[in-house]
Structure 1
Amino acid sequence: MKIGIFFGGTSREREISFAGGRTVFDNLDKALFQPVPIFVDSLGQFILLDWQFIYKGTIRDFYPPVESQPASVHHLQVYIESLGELSHEERFHAIAKVGREVKAQELPQLMDFAFLALHGPGGEDGAIQGMLEWLGIPYSGSGILPSAFGIDKIAQKNLLHALNRPTPSFRVIKAEEWDTTDHAATLAYLVRELGLPLVLKAPRQGSSIGVSILKTDNLAKFEAAIERSLFRKRVTREEWQRLGEQDKLAWVQHLTDIREGIGLPVVVSGSSSLVSGLNDDQPATSNQQPETIIYHPETLLFALNERLESAEQVLLTNVDGETQVLVESFVAGREFSCIVVEDPNGLP
């Protein structure tokens, strides 16, 4: 029986998924099953991966291959989305170094069953599940509808609330509202309505990505938590100019690391006056600079050096960032996980 192991993926949890796929590959009983490693890259391409690359430490250790990457002064490791818009030929050559591309219609010939080790959007949101059902390939995990509700925390909360199921009290902050309202007043309202600690979440990410717990009535920490859930980062000229060259490089590397920072590509926007002026009684009259999309961390380093010569601050926003933040009251207790296996009739 051929087991297609789907791992990697487009989400910020792709490294966790990559490690999980390797675990499945190693522990599958080879006397009963033939593993078929299907690596999904961050552009959503399916790659039948040569087995030796499964044992690399991280995705960036082997993909995109060095030959596909532009010359870099600092020799930074990147994901393939940092290479910008690639031609069909460039994508083909990158994939050919680590395996071969697999089209969706080929999957039924390659496997009898799909083991989904994918995480987050694209892996747990019903997308891959819908494709596999369309192709007639049975798979592990939840179906389309529960996956779609499970990945969308706000939809899930609204459903639980409508069904009168117990769930922590919550509020939703939209990005456009956040940019035009008084942050201190928003924090005071949330503390009054939900109490402390507050739990802030990125609504459509898996696991603990974009999650913060605010334990005190601290405006600066609250603003940082909101920005983290929106996958945005502000940096002022003063902050940037205090850093040495190596510190600036480390800052950019941390920011663009999908496990800790906001990832790439990012939209860069800046102004000659601080964006926090939007919280004042008077409307902001800042001289906005044009927005730019940046794909590579080294390009971002150079852009920040240039922008922050004239701009008071720069706002960095991931192009796949969130548009809302879910804020919940905190629940203290122990967490349990339970696997539910259904029989062919859908009964546990």
Structure 2
Amino acid sequence: MIGIKLWKKEVNEMSIEKVAVILGGTSTERDISLRSGHAVYEGLLKKGYNAFKIDPKLDDVYSILTNEKPDMAFIALHGQGGEDGTIQGFLDYLKIPYTGNSLLASALCMNKIFTQNILKANNILVPEFFTVTKEEYNVLGATGIRKKIEESFGFPAIVKAPSQGSTLGIYFINNPNEDYTKQLTYGIENAFKLEDILLIEAMIVPSTEITISVLGNQRPVALPTLEITTATGYFDYTTKYTHGMCEHIIPARLPLSVRQKAQAVAVETYTLLQCSGFARVDFMVQGNDIYMIDINTIPGMTDMSLVPDAAKVIGIDFPELIQLIIEMADGKDFPLEKYEKALLEVEK
């Protein structure tokens, strides 16, 4: 299997007792990572693990890991440095087992441009898009980008810094009462503060936003569909992490056939990108068309996060979910037989 973890053959011989929770870091998602990591740490303690926390921004990660010699690292780092393969490669070098995805899968899924090109080549539906570099923008300007959007797929559109998470670096160009060139200037110039190449994407409207968590290794399993509604109509950083501004509806309010198709596409996406352990796949659904818009290899683990909510519906509480993630990193697979009945999507 491409992207196999370097320690895979050794880890099954070990007993997992001591776990390092790697959290915080230096990315734009530091605050969410701290919340996720603390929740994971508490969950590990409830399951009897000897857990401790490491923050790469504050701690000497190499010294702590080599001195403490944990049986496994639970990666709760969101964004760059955590989801892009960096910490995975570091842990591979130290031969320390870790949760979630390999270096390769993490790097591919972190960059929305690579992800969408791979999926498009494999006939998985993604929104129409093109990319723009700083050099191209300096030549074309916002006026030239506007013309390219109008010739490609039209407005509304979205500007994305492709390797950010938690909906950071995303700008909606969708206000018909404000000049689109002005909106593009603001969005593109702010997104370029984060990255040197941007994704310009068609905005799928009207649509229903859903997310599907996938767990497992050799036989990945899709959890129930989860529909996201927000107070503002956009699932951005504010609505995602502010109590009362978003609602998670499980299962999604879509026909059974569409929900089942979305689950199948989520598993196919997960498999194509060589994912393992767990990930979350996000979609926009318009009629019978299911557009894959993002995949998260280290999804949030806060009290408002999507994966824990989906797991809870089939009877997996948060500490149990954390233990399952540890066990899957230890080479086991998702215990489908235990949860098979609860996983069935039914007519609403």
SS state at 2:23 partner: strand
1:116 corresponds to which of 50, 64, 75? 75
Aligned counterpart, 2:137: 178
Matched, 1:324 2:286: no
For residues 136 and 47 of structure 2, the distance between their equivalents in structure 1, rounded to whole angstroms, comes to 57
For residue 325 of structure 1, report the CA deviation from its aligned partner.
1.0
1:135 CA drift (Å)? 1.6
Partner of 1:158: 117
Which of 1 and 2 has higher RCO (CA within 8 Å, sep 6+)?
Answer: 2
Task: State the 1:163 CA deviation.
Answer: 1.9
- State the shift of 1:161 in Å: 2.0
Match of 1:40 among 29, 42, 56: 56
Match of 1:167 among 110, 126, 133: 126
Q: Structure 1 residues 199, 180: closer, same or farther in 2, change over 3 A?
A: same
2:155 partner amino acid: L
Aligned pairs for 1:59-98 (under 5 A) are none
Which segments of 5 or more consecutive residues in structure 1 lack a partner in the other structure? Answer: 48-100, 232-320
Residue 62 of structure 2 corresponds to residue 103 of structure 1: yes
Aligned-CA RMSD value: 2.1
Distance in 2 (CA, whole Å) between partners of 1:346 and 1:163 is: 28
Aligned match of 1:340: 215
Using the alignment, how far apart are the partners of 1:10 and 1:151 within structure 2? Answer: 16
The within-5 A match list for 1:136-215 is 136-215=95-174
Count of equivalent residues: 202
Tell me the amino acid that sits aligned with residue 15 of structure 1.
D
Show the counterpart of 2:33. 17
Taking structure 1 as reference, are residues 167 and 220 closer, same or farther at Cα in structure 2, changes over 3 Å only? same
Q: Which residue of structure 2 lines up, in the alignment, with residue 219 of structure 1? A: 181
What is the alpha-carbon distance in structure 1 between the residues aligned to residue 47 and residue 210 of structure 2?
A: 36
Separation in structure 2 between the aligned mates of residue 102 and residue 146 of structure 1, nearest angstrom: 23
Q: What's the % identity of the aligned pairs?
A: 32
CA distance in structure 2 between the aligned counterparts of 1:205 and 1:108, rounded to whole angstroms: 32
Match of 1:133 among 89, 92, 113: 92
Q: State the AA in 2 paired with 1:197.
A: P
Counterpart-to-counterpart distance in 1, 2:74 and 2:213 = 18
The residue identity in structure 2 corresponding to 1:337 is I
| Contact in 2 for aligned 1:191/1:198 (Cα 8 Å) | no
> Relative to 1, partners in 2 of residues 1:345 and 1:22: Cα closer, same or farther, differing over 3 Å?
closer
User: Do the aligned partners of residues 31 and 330 (structure 1) sit closer, same or farther apart at CA in structure 2, a change above 3 Å counting?
Assistant: closer
5+ residue gaps, structure 2, are 1-16, 218-327, 335-348
The aligned counterpart of 1:53 is: none
Structure 2 SS opposite 1:28: helix
Q: Structure 2 counterpart of 1:327, which letter?
A: I
Which one-letter code corresponds to 2:86 in the other structure? Answer: A
Residues 3, 180 of structure 1: alpha-carbon distance in 2 compared, 3 angstrom cutoff: same
Kindly provide the amino acid, as one letter, of the partner of residue 203 in structure 1: P
SS state at 1:339 partner: strand
| Contact 2:133–2:197 under 8 Å retained in 1 | yes
Larger radius of gyration: 1
Q: For the Cα contact (< 8 Å) 1:194–1:329, is it kept in 2?
A: yes
The offset of 1:341, in angstroms, is: 2.3
Q: CA offset at residue 208 of structure 1? A: 0.8
Cα 1:151–1:102, aligned 2, differ >3 Å: closer, same or farther?
A: closer
